[in-house]
Structure 1
Amino acid sequence: MAHADLLMTCPPITGVVLAGGQGRRMGGVDKGLQELQGRPMSAWVVERLAPQVDELLINANRNAERYTEFGYRVVADKIPDFAGPLAGLHAALSAASHPWVATAPCDSPFLPSDLVSRLAAAMRTADADLAVARTFDQPHPVFCLCKRDVLPHLTAYLQSGERKFDRWYATLKTVEVPFDDAASAFENINTREELQRFDAPR
């Protein structure tokens, strides 16, 4: 069955742009609002992710009014002290209107236009709880699709003090989805030097 046909049998999907980090490697700035080719990095991610989902959220812990300007609901972490991307997923699962939730980080402006459809097709085929993008031997846990009903499991994991994304998804029925044909789409921008390098027409 083709990806498009499999996607038609899937539940509606909520997408979330993960922009709740501290941006430590970029000097503590709000990374999602740093400009790439004249636009905030988050704007590039929103533009690519929004058409792939039925609802879009933005997870942000600072500058909520700026993120609201993108036209989507902004949700903050429920877990305090910038607990990382899992806390952003936790916030999204808590706020999502739909049964499945897809994530993408605010610092990966080139994400694939078929990210969600490929994750959804693999998750449906494998009857998994969670699908994670992978390029060659490198998984990318912050590019994932999971069922909203894993929320209690994630809440318990975070309340235990754990924060590692890969350690969490290893406890679920997970399928890793190859994107070897689109490896460059998962490049992320963590530092000012990387931002300068990518701040040119592609």
Structure 2
Amino acid sequence: MSAVPAIAASHITGLVLAGGRGTRMGGVDKGLEILHGKPLAQHVLERLAPQVCTLAVNANRSQLRYAAFGYPIWHDLAPDFPGPLAGLQCGLAHCTTPFLATAPCDSPLIPYDLVARLAEEMAASGADAAFAVTGAQDKRQRHPVCSLLRKSSLPSLDAFLAAGERKMELWFATLRCVEVDFPDERAFSNINTGLQLQQLEQEQ
């Protein structure tokens, strides 16, 4: 029985999703909120960079400020902030590698082995997509924004969005997906409010 080919980091583009409205945080650009002296998005970029061959940021505003991090800025292909799936769409459309790894700008503690573990499970299963999961049974939580996708899934996503659909988990349900368990729930914490940001600042 032949070994399953590994998915190398050199075949993966990383994308930090910072294209939302920040509604739950009063409309601020969450990725630029400061944690321990650095913008949230910078924390994510620094953790994701060693895991992929190239990086970009999906942003629909504050683009000059995001560009200061030194990475390409890719904006949604559709107007009016249609949601995180639009960020995945722009990433898949722009990336020149066979795979795209994504993480949200408001999760500054993402694991340093996030992409490697997603890639390992995707290669083993032959899936179209892999995403992180934490917890067990009734506390099991999916994190589809922390995902690894094949570029070949773009036509499926284009059609899904063209039909007016927006829910990420509904699109993932149309693909061959593998859920990858991670033990540390805290690593996938989202900063959605000023209070959560303040608490994380105090914890570390």
When normalised by structure 2's length, the TM-score is 0.93
Deviation at 1:6, TM superposition (A): 6.3
Q: What does residue range 91-106 of structure 1 map to in structure 2 within 5 Å? A: 91-106=90-105
1:84-107 deviations in Å (ceiling 9; x for gaps): 111001001011021100000000
Task: State the secondary structure of the residue aligned to 2:202.
Answer: coil
The aligned counterpart of 2:193 is 191
Q: Decide whether the 8 Å contact of 1:11 with 1:99 is kept in 2.
A: no
Q: Decide whether the 8 Å contact of 1:92 with 1:101 is kept in 2.
A: yes
Task: State the secondary structure of the residue aligned to 1:199.
Answer: helix
Q: What does residue range 165-176 of structure 1 map to in structure 2 within 5 Å? A: 165-176=168-179
Q: State whether structure 2 residue 44 is matched by structure 1 residue 45.
A: yes
Deviation at 1:188, TM superposition (A): 1.0
Counterpart-to-counterpart distance in 2, 1:109 and 1:161: 31
Structure 1 vs Structure 2 CA RMSD: 1.4
Give the number of equivalent residue pairs. Answer: 197
Counterpart-to-counterpart distance in 2, 1:147 and 1:132: 12
Deviation at 1:200, TM superposition (A): 2.7
Counterpart-to-counterpart distance in 2, 1:24 and 1:8: 36
Q: Decide whether the 8 Å contact of 1:55 with 1:97 is kept in 2.
A: no
Q: Decide whether the 8 Å contact of 1:10 with 1:124 is kept in 2.
A: no
When normalised by structure 1's length, the TM-score is 0.94
Q: State whether structure 2 residue 180 is matched by structure 1 residue 177.
A: yes
Q: State whether structure 2 residue 123 is matched by structure 1 residue 121.
A: no
The aligned counterpart of 1:149 is 152
Task: State the secondary structure of the residue aligned to 1:122.
Answer: helix
Counterpart-to-counterpart distance in 2, 1:33 and 1:18: 12
Task: State the secondary structure of the residue aligned to 1:128.
Answer: coil
Counterpart-to-counterpart distance in 2, 1:16 and 1:9: 16
Deviation at 1:132, TM superposition (A): 0.9
The aligned counterpart of 2:58 is 59
One-letter amino acid matched to 1:132: F
The aligned counterpart of 1:81 is 80
Indicate how the Cα distance of structure 1 residues 161 and 8 shifts in structure 2: closer, same or farther if over 3 A, else same: closer
Identity %: 52
Q: Which runs of 5+ in 1 are unaligned?
A: none
Counterpart-to-counterpart distance in 2, 1:191 and 1:8: 36
Deviation at 1:184, TM superposition (A): 1.2
Q: Decide whether the 8 Å contact of 2:9 with 2:53 is kept in 1.
A: no
Counterpart-to-counterpart distance in 2, 1:97 and 1:104: 18
Task: State the secondary structure of the residue aligned to 1:82.
Answer: coil
1:52-106 deviations in Å (ceiling 9; x for gaps): 0011010000011111110100100002110111100100101102110000000
Task: State the secondary structure of the residue aligned to 1:176.
Answer: strand
Counterpart-to-counterpart distance in 2, 1:128 and 1:165: 17
One-letter amino acid matched to 1:24: T
Task: State the secondary structure of the residue aligned to 1:200.
Answer: helix
Indicate how the Cα distance of structure 1 residues 10 and 129 shifts in structure 2: closer, same or farther if over 3 A, else same: farther
Counterpart-to-counterpart distance in 2, 1:59 and 1:10: 20
Q: Decide whether the 8 Å contact of 1:6 with 1:121 is kept in 2.
A: no
The aligned counterpart of 1:164 is 167
Task: State the secondary structure of the residue aligned to 2:96.
Answer: coil
Q: What does residue range 24-39 of structure 1 map to in structure 2 within 5 Å? A: 24-39=23-38
